[in-house]
Chains A and B, each alone.
Chain A
Amino acid sequence: MGDREIDQQLVERAQHGDKHAFELLVAKYQRKLGRLLSRFIRDAAEIEDVTQEAFIKAYRALPSFRGDSAFYTWLYRIGINTAKNYLVAMGRRAPTTTEFDIADAETFENGEQLKDVNTPENELMSKQIANTVNQTLQELPDELRTAITLREIEGLRYEDIATIMGCPIGTVRSRIFRAREAIAEKLRPMLGTSKDKRW
């Protein structure tokens, strides 16, 4: 099942009252949407407020989502409109469609360098998370580090990774999982449980 089909499954569950399903979509897209909105809102706290508002609007509009487009395209469109309305309400100039449109949003993922969206209070936490991920990644055995890097950075499918690494697809799947678990194990003391700090 592809990425779009997984999103569609989660959307359908959310459309029928499963709030956890929508939370999973939030967990998946919150940082990407925040990064997208940072292109036309400077202040980190404002970016987070607008991102939250966009998710609430998306949740309210879920009954009208029919799956004609990918969920993230639909979400990004809501995010951009929310940001434009926010800027207008604040008396600031909103970007025009030609300056920034949904096509940009779809290719944005591999675009600009990260803009720091952390508030000063959370900067330490963000740095700790980034350092933990990077440090654990460096400490992983070569085969685990290569597998997760090819997947997360290069975006390769398991089949392609298996070809590159000269191993079965099942081994790739296992290596990526073990790499993620090794890093997550180090992150968990910082993140707590889903009842408090998660997603």
Chain B
Amino acid sequence: MKHDISALMDGELEQDAAETAIARLKQQEELRDAWFDYHLIGDVMRQTGIVSADFGERLRGKLAMEPVVLAPRRPLLQKTKIAALSVAASLAAVAVVAWVVLQNNTDKAKDNLAATQQSNAAALASLPRYPLNSNVNEYLLAHQEFSPSTTMQGVAPYVRTVSDGAPETNR
């Protein structure tokens, strides 16, 4: 584990490993000693200076007299809360827009269907009435090759030419 403390103080541990190492620093005195020693070695090598031997003991005594610091977890909570609210607001906005769009589309579809039915009925009513003569059909079939639509492939020409155009109500 000291291996990780060495890498931790160099900023060379991944997030998870670093958090584990920091947590273990709290639990194991041996690791805290290593943390102290390694920093001391680095400072001596850089000639940063050495404080007196009882510096730590004196400061620890003063810290022991201090009440334990208990700060609210404000930054973390705020960040989490803001993120959650942002997601909720986004979802709500999407839901509202989707509902409005769907509502409009449903109403329009109903209107369109009604309008189509009405226009079909009107169109059928306005069609001229031809006598239902079987000879006409035979004639049309016999001469369908002269229809302009015969250039098209498939059965569409028959649909066009054979339609008798009689209103449904008369069938």
User: Considering the chains assembled together, what is the distance between the CA atoms of A115 and B41 in angstroms?
Assistant: 18
Contact A174/B40 with A20-B32, A34-B49, A118-B50 known, Cβ cut-off 8 Å = no
Nearest-neighbour CB distance to chain A for B11, whole angstroms, equals 5
Does A16 reach chain B (CB closer than 8 Å)?
Answer: yes
Partner of A153 from the list B33, B34, B46 (CB cut-off 8 Å) is B46
User: Considering the chains assembled together, what is the distance between the CA atoms of A1 and B3 in angstroms?
Assistant: 15
Does A88 reach chain B (CB closer than 8 Å)?
Answer: no
Partner of A126 from the list B9, B29, B50, B59 (CB cut-off 8 Å) is B50
Contact with B along A1-44 (1 / 0, CB 8 A): 11101100110111111111111101110111011001000000
**B-facing residues in A95-139 (Cβ within 8 Å):** 109, 113-119, 121-122, 125-126, 129-130, 133-134, 137
Partner of B11 from the list A1, A21, A188, A197 (CB cut-off 8 Å) is A1
Partner of B2 from the list A32, A118, A130, A177 (CB cut-off 8 Å) is A177
Does B138 reach chain A (CB closer than 8 Å)?
Answer: no
Q: Decide: A173 and B7 in contact? CB cutoff 8 A.
A: yes
Does A181 reach chain B (CB closer than 8 Å)?
Answer: yes
Q: Decide: B68 and A137 in contact? CB cutoff 8 A.
A: no
Q: Determine the residue in chain A with the shortest Cβ distance to B56.
A: A199
Q: Decide: A176 and B40 in contact? CB cutoff 8 A.
A: no
Contact A9/B22 with A122-B53, A158-B12 known, Cβ cut-off 8 Å = yes
Partner of B68 from the list A10, A19, A121, A149 (CB cut-off 8 Å) is A19
Q: Decide: A157 and B57 in contact? CB cutoff 8 A.
A: no
Does B69 reach chain A (CB closer than 8 Å)?
Answer: yes
Q: Decide: B29 and A59 in contact? CB cutoff 8 A.
A: no
A-B contact count (CB 8 A): 208
Q: Determine the residue in chain B with the shortest Cβ distance to A173.
A: B7
Q: Decide: B53 and A173 in contact? CB cutoff 8 A.
A: no
Contact A117/B49 with A6-B8, A30-B55, A181-B2 known, Cβ cut-off 8 Å = yes
Partner of B71 from the list A19, A20, A62, A198 (CB cut-off 8 Å) is A62
Nearest-neighbour CB distance to chain A for B114, whole angstroms, equals 63
Q: Determine the residue in chain B with the shortest Cβ distance to A45.
A: B52
Q: Decide: B37 and A180 in contact? CB cutoff 8 A.
A: yes
Does B134 reach chain A (CB closer than 8 Å)?
Answer: no
Does B14 reach chain A (CB closer than 8 Å)?
Answer: yes
Which residues from B are CB-within-8-Å of A70? none
Q: Determine the residue in chain B with the shortest Cβ distance to A30.
A: B51
Does A183 reach chain B (CB closer than 8 Å)?
Answer: yes
Q: Decide: B22 and A63 in contact? CB cutoff 8 A.
A: no
Q: Decide: A16 and B71 in contact? CB cutoff 8 A.
A: yes
Residues of B in contact with A (beta carbons under 8 Å apart): 2-3, 6-15, 18-19, 22, 25-26, 29, 32-60, 62-63, 66, 68-76
- For this complex, 19 residue pairs linking A to B, each with C-beta atoms less than 8 Å apart, are A1-B18, A15-B69, A22-B69, A31-B49, A35-B49, A56-B62, A56-B66, A114-B49, A129-B40, A133-B44, A152-B42, A173-B7, A176-B10, A184-B38, A194-B32, A194-B33, A196-B57, A198-B32, A199-B60
Task: Give the 4 A-B CB pairs with smallest separation, nearest first.
Answer: A63-B71, A1-B18, A122-B52, A15-B71
Given A34-B49, A48-B51, A117-B51, 15 other A-B residues pairs in contact with their CB atoms under 8 A = A3-B11, A15-B69, A22-B63, A23-B32, A23-B63, A27-B36, A59-B63, A114-B48, A125-B53, A133-B44, A153-B45, A173-B3, A173-B12, A177-B2, A199-B60
